[in-house]
């Protein structure tokens, strides 16, 4: 597919240099490489700077509520499993407001791709600490440094045996777009934790900082032991080494296929009314 087909007339309004540009470009590249029909793609977002991504890709989209993108995306996917469904939102969105949904999405294992824009800060609400802000990070919330520990989304998802867990970097579009492509192709819930520089509110974890630490991992993501080690590496090394790539992967049945099996077809294509069959059972 020609990437021009998913361009919009509007130009993204992010701060110049924001990592969200790289993420946007990576998604578009992945969709073009996969030759997706734009009308069969739905991008579901939460609220935040990153949540504005669906504005700039001409597919279907649902710009939902802060933190609620996952159940919304799930509902869309099981209603019509032929669609390619991508959820995208920030770290505050997915790990704070929507934390409960992330905990449970691995249980459903619905075949969607979730891109989490991890800038370790609240961008849109002007620089408060986020759930991934590292201890000591100075923010509007904690001008003297964040005194509490961050959450660990990648180990959390690996421990839950999410179907596919990856880490990506907004500064490496080539690698990230391949990762997104693989995640879309993977049958099952796939999560990509994208390290995303926020040039305005997070001057600590910028491009230079990442450039020195990020490396492409070559471990076997289907080996849980290796995956667990890689998932924890940033924490174990005090963020000296940050692996990107597929961290963990498995194959298990998806909810959308279960829905098809149970209903005998794609829900959106069933329009018969089965009232009489049910009344028969009640009589």
Ligand X SMILES: Cc1ncc(C[n+]2csc(CCOP(=O)(O)OP(=O)(O)O)c2C)c(N)n1
- Interface with Mg ion (CB under 5 A): 90-91, 119
Residue 145, CA distances (Å) to 56, 97, 162, 197 in order:
35, 22, 33, 19
Q: Which residues of 68-87 are buried (b: 16+ CB within 10 A; e: fewer)?
A: bbbbbbbebbbeebebbbbb
161 binds, among ligand SF4, Mg ion, other proteins, none (CB under 5 to 8 A by kind): none
CB atoms within 10 A of CB 218: 8
Beta strands 128-129 and 121-122 are antiparallel
* 3-class DSSP assignment, residue 281: helix
How does DSSP classify residue 197? Answer: -
The entry of Mg ion, other proteins, ligand X, none that residue 61 binds, CB within 5 to 8 Å by partner kind: other proteins
Minimum CB distance to ligand X smaller for 125 or for 232: 125
* CA 172 – CA 263 distance, rounded (Å): 42
Stretch that binds ligand X, among 6-14, 105-113, 118-126, 160-168 (CB under 6 A): 118-126
Determine, following the binding rule CB under 8 A, whether residue 179 of this chain makes contact with other proteins: no
Residues in touch with ligand SF4 (CB under 6 A): 14-15, 18, 20, 49, 119, 123, 198-201
Residues in touch with other proteins (CB under 8 A): 4-5, 7-10, 37-42, 44, 47, 52, 54-55, 58-65, 68, 70-80, 82-83, 100-101, 103-104, 259, 262-264, 267-268, 270-275, 277-283
Residues in touch with ligand X (CB under 6 A): 47-50, 66, 90-93, 117, 119, 121-125, 130
């Amino acid at each position: 597919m020609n990437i021009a087909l998913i361009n919009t007339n509007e130009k993204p309004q992010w701060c110049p240099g924001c990592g969200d540009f790289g993420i946007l470009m990576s998604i578009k590249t992945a969709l073009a490489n996969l030759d997706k029909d734009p009308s069969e793609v739905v991008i579901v977002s939460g609220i935040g700077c990153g949540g504005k991504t669906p504005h700039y890709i001409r597919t279907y989209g649902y710009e939902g509520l802060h933190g609620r993108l996952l159940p919304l995306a799930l509902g869309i996917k099981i209603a019509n499993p032929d669609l390619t469904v991508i959820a995208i939102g920030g770290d505050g969105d997915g790990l704070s407001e929507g934390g409960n949904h992330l905990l449970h999405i691995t249980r459903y294992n619905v075949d969607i791709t979730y891109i989490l824009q991890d800038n370790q800060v609240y961008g849109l609400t002007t620089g408060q600490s986020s759930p991934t802000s590292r201890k000591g990070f100075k923010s509007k919330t904690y001008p003297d440094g964040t005194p509490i520990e961050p959450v660990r989304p990648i180990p959390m998802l690996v421990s839950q045996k999410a179907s596919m867990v990856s880490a990506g970097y907004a500064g490496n579009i080539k690698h990230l777009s391949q990762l997104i492509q693989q995640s879309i192709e993977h049958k099952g819930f796939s999560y990509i934790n994208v390290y995303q520089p926020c040039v305005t509110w997070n001057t600590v974890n910028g491009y230079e900082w990442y450039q020195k630490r990020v490396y492409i991992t070559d471990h076997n993501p289907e080996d849980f032991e290796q995956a667990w080690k890689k998932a924890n590496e940033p924490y174990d090394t005090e963020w000296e080494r940050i692996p990107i790539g597929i961290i963990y992967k498995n194959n298990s049945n998806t909810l959308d296929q279960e829905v098809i099996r149970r209903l005998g077809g794609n829900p959106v294509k069933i329009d018969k009314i089965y009232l009489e069959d049910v009344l028969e059972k009640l009589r």
